[in-house]
A and B are shown apart, each in its own frame.
Chain A
Amino acid sequence: MKIPLRYNLRSLLVRWVGTLMTAIGIGLTVAIFIVMNALVNGLDSTFVQTGRENQLVIIRQGSLAETNSYFDRGLYETVRLLDGIAHDKSGQPLASGEITVIINHPRLTGESANVLIRGVSDMAFAVRPEVKITSGRKFRDGLRELVVSQSLANRFQNMQIGKTIHIGRSDWRVVGLMEAGGTAYDSEIWADYEDVAQEWDRPIYSSILVRANDAKAAESLTKRIKDDQRINLQALDQKTYFKDQMVSSIGIKALGLFIAVVMGIGSCFAAMNMMYSAVMGRMKEVGTLRALGFKRRSILSSFLVESVILALAGGILGCLMALPLHGLSTGTANFISFSEVLFHFRITPTILLKGLAFAAIVGVLGGILPARRAARIKLVEVLRD
Chain B
Amino acid sequence: MSEPLIEISALSKVFQRDSVEVRALDRVDMQVFPGDFVCLMGPSGSGKSTLLNIIAGVDRPSEGSVIVAGESLNEMSEDELAAWRNHHVGFVFQHFNLIPVLTAFENVELPLLLTSLSKKERREHVTTAMELVGLTDRMDHYPRQLSGGQEQRVAIARAIVTDPTCVLADEPTGDLDAHSAREVLEVLKGLNEQFKKTIMMVTHDPHAAAYASTRYQLEKGVFSKEGARQTV
A contact residues vs B (CB 8 Å cutoff) = 2-4, 6-7, 10-11, 14, 284-285, 287-297, 379-380, 383-385
Contact = CB atoms under 8 A, between A and B. Distances in A.
Nearest to A297: B79
B101 A10 contact: yes
Nearest to B79: A295
A380 to B, nearest CB: 5
> Which 4 pairs, one residue from A and one from B, show the smallest C-beta to C-beta distance?
A293-B86, A10-B101, A288-B97, A380-B59
Given A2-B114, A291-B58, A295-B79, 8 more contacts: A2-B113, A4-B113, A289-B99, A291-B91, A291-B97, A295-B78, A297-B79, A385-B95
A14 B101 CA distance: 8
B83 interface: yes
A284 B143 CA distance: 15
A4 to B, nearest CB: 7
Contacts of A385: 95
Contacts of A383: 53, 58, 93, 97
Contacts of A288: 93, 97, 99
B102 interface: yes
A293 B85 contact: yes
B139 interface: no
Contacts of B87: 293
Contact of A296 (B78, B84, B113, B158): B78
A7 B97 CA distance: 15
Q: How large is the interface on B (under 10, 10 to 19, 20 to 34, 35 or more residues)?
A: 20 to 34
Contacts of A3: 113
A3 to B, nearest CB: 7
A379 B100 CA distance: 19
Contacts of A4: 106, 113
Contact of A7 (B93, B102, B158): B102
A4 B119 CA distance: 13
Contacts of B58: 291, 379-380, 383
B97 A284 contact: yes
Given A10-B101, A292-B86, A296-B79, A379 B59 contact: yes
B154 to A, nearest CB: 13
Contact of A292 (B79, B84, B100, B111): B111
Nearest to B59: A380
A287 B59 CA distance: 12
B82 A294 contact: yes
B129 interface: no
B184 interface: no
Contacts of B95: 284, 385
Nearest to B158: A292
A7 B82 contact: no
B56 interface: yes
A374 B99 CA distance: 16
Contact of B114 (A291, A293, A296): A293
B114 A10 contact: no
